[in-house]
Amino acid sequence: MRIPLTILALMIAVLLVFSAPQIGNAWERQPHMEAALHHLQQAAEELQKAEHDKGGHRAKALELTNQAIKHVEEGIEVGNRR
């Protein structure tokens, strides 16, 4: 069974129209979480590049930053379900 191209295009357009508000709202509701995630990722990159371990503090800071990244990502995911 072949679907005519115009019907397929119409189906895709309808899908986009109905899904766009939900996608937009998910991003609009969490600009601070997205910004925090970006900053944490930048911090992790800088900690990774830093020389020497600073008595174990650099490694611990990197570990905690990675944990924070995970929690922010999970929080964004939970927020997107609402």
Q: pLDDT per residue over 20-76, tens digit each?
A: 555 555 445 799 999 999 999 999 999 999 998 899 999 999 999 999 999 999 999
What span, in angstroms and rounded, lies between the C-alpha atoms of 48 and 61? 10
What span, in angstroms and rounded, lies between the C-alpha atoms of 50 and 45? 9
Banded pLDDT at 3 (limits 50, 70, 90): low
Domain around 34:
5-80
pLDDT on residue 12: 76
Q: Report, as an integer, the average pLDDT of 4-8.
A: 68
pLDDT on residue 63: 95
**Domains identified in the chain, total number:** 1
Widest Cα–Cα separation across the chain = 68
Banded pLDDT at 1 (limits 50, 70, 90): low
